[in-house]
Structure 1
């Protein structure tokens, strides 16, 4: 059986991918507690891991994609000094596959779809579109070391002061954004959903600074009404935002990073899928969750492995075909569940 005293995990993709990588941190911590763990993530995602409460995680490294090759060269220099027993490349892209091979680690493990997989010590089949969850795929990378048991992602967020209207476990979060436009539920449907909610249900809008305009459109629809719709989009650093999700009654999210934050915090989650589908393996993992998607069969859906900047056919039927009453039904299901 393999034994590693020092390993590096590499996941420099988007926020949600980084959150899901915490499942491997948990697996290594629980099943090989003496192993020193390092992780390399995209710049901006470091705070997620710097708040990780266990000393098994020694160093959080960051890759600055705004200065791609200079950052890559700096990482090659600095990581070469660490003398890792093993590197686990969680993503499938050339740059990080090449980096893993250039830092002098004893062994390199990665997916067969990585262009550099021919040179890996062990390459693992990357199954896609079969319903296998990403945390299961990632766990397969360490199977020869630690076996098949899958752990859930985990986040621990520091407490912050909440607005007076945000009573613990009483408000719901809505996160209308996504990096990809074809993963965004149309704003009009979010507005219709809020209108269907009980008037005393406090709604908190969440998102990154780049998504302020989306939340502003929703908030503007309720100006002057008796509803409390708090627009917190772009107002908080990453961990503070995660705490707001954690304290919510439940959260409504697109197929995006906030969904995975809710999974890692076990927040009751309603996940909306427009152009993508749950079988890609990025579904919600909270103990209570629901998936909402169009009930219409569309030959064009999914239109790709990821979202797109706009609908290739111009109609966006996968998003426009979702009904606000489906979101309301999920809300009512949770209230009646007794969870």
Structure 2
């Protein structure tokens, strides 16, 4: 049988089952939803931004058990979350890579017998997992590569912040969409550790120089010069954060050592990093996961955008935060939704044109709001 026809017949059969389930569901019958799966297996930052959706789903479906499916690196973020029943880790790039790992996960998900899947991740694999898990109501975005496998498709509004986009998946049920910053429900021991590690300074500025994508990293020499300006004020200190892979960058910035500089790169969990950020006056970071950790911590965030743009929806939300961009329009920008491994026109002008002096001025304006 033709593979396209075969897929069509299978989809038609599943669509009939879906239609029956969706018809039986009405906004006033929220008690019909007993188990919910939220699928977000992209990067750490994406997982942080799905947290408000967890709480919103919990508020709208108070009787439902909620599970979240994320990559292993993000799983620890959701420990101690009061609204989650299970945090399911899917190592899709590691030990669970390939068909065998996919099928093993699928078997685990089917046993949970979910009623509703919320799929903010726009990959074919995520939509396929929801469909093959036999979840009758599947809500995702119209731009998903697997949108044809969803029962409800929400328009993906690119200028809108990702948190609002994620929560909007619930408005197909009449749920009010409103912004809420992520919450990680930090524990006393995590905050105690952060307190003991902070530099001795009246105000501390966090610097996060890393990113998976090279074109999203502000040059290390720019971070060095910014740190020099920060330390020229005797009341200010610096803490460097990031993963183990960012340690070489942080060591270059920290230099030979300064009594008001603490390099914590590679030494903290994500939750402990958030606890450190809670104690900082501001965070200067690239367009990467620390932006969203800073948002969760409630600190002021200055995010530097080079290869990417705030209009993608991953900017630091809030009037007290800043999105820092090149001083002039560049025809080559943005060069991709994630950035890239190298500048496609070999100049890296988007990042090099953002001077430490400019970032310093913005930083001073931000911390003056205290």
The two structures share one fold, judged by TM-score above 0.5: yes
The alpha-carbon deviation at position 163 of structure 1 amounts to 4.0
- Name the structure, 1 or 2, with higher relative contact order (CA <8 Å, separation 6+): 1
Count of residues in correspondence between the two structures: 331
Residue in structure 2 matching 1:282, options 306, 309, 314 = 314
**CA contact under 8 A between 1:26 and 1:151: conserved in structure 2?**
no
**CA contact under 8 A between 1:8 and 1:40: conserved in structure 2?**
yes
How many Å separate the matches in 2 of 1:149 and 1:127?
14
1:203 and 2:203 are equivalent in the alignment:
no
5 Å matches for 1:174-253?
174-197=207-230, 198-200=232-234, 201-220=236-255, 223=256, 228-253=260-285
Q: Which residue of 2 aligns with 1:19?
A: 48
**CA contact under 8 A between 2:243 and 2:266: conserved in structure 1?**
yes
Secondary structure at 2:117's aligned position in 1? strand
Q: Which residue of 1 aligns with 2:172?
A: 144
Secondary structure at 1:110's aligned position in 2? strand
How many Å separate the matches in 1 of 2:155 and 2:198?
49
**CA contact under 8 A between 1:31 and 1:146: conserved in structure 2?**
no
How many Å separate the matches in 2 of 1:137 and 1:188?
36
Q: Which residue of 1 aligns with 2:5?
A: none
**CA contact under 8 A between 1:206 and 1:234: conserved in structure 2?**
yes
Q: Which residue of 1 aligns with 2:204?
A: 171
Q: Which residue of 2 aligns with 1:115?
A: 145
Q: 1:168 to 1:9 in 2, by over 3 A?
A: farther
Secondary structure at 2:265's aligned position in 1? coil
How many Å separate the matches in 2 of 1:146 and 1:209?
43
How many Å separate the matches in 2 of 1:167 and 1:270?
22
The alpha-carbon deviation at position 115 of structure 1 amounts to 2.6
**CA contact under 8 A between 1:26 and 1:154: conserved in structure 2?**
no
How many Å separate the matches in 2 of 1:167 and 1:34?
47
Q: 1:15 to 1:169 in 2, by over 3 A?
A: farther
The alpha-carbon deviation at position 33 of structure 1 amounts to 2.4
TM-align CA RMSD: 1.8
Tell me which protein shows more helix as a share of its residues.
2
The alpha-carbon deviation at position 140 of structure 1 amounts to 2.1
Moved more, 20-29 or 68-77: 68-77
How many Å separate the matches in 2 of 1:95 and 1:164?
41
Secondary structure at 2:58's aligned position in 1? helix
Q: Which residue of 2 aligns with 1:304?
A: 336
CA offsets, 1:171-213, max 9 Å, x none? 1110000110111000111111111223422101110001111
Larger Rg: 2
Q: Which residue of 1 aligns with 2:85?
A: 58
The alpha-carbon deviation at position 147 of structure 1 amounts to 2.3
Scaled by the length of structure 2, what TM-score is found?
A: 0.85
Q: 1:164 to 1:175 in 2, by over 3 A?
A: closer
How many Å separate the matches in 2 of 1:228 and 1:78?
49
Residue in structure 2 matching 1:134, options 162, 167, 182 = 162
Secondary structure at 1:330's aligned position in 2? helix
**CA contact under 8 A between 1:87 and 1:100: conserved in structure 2?**
yes
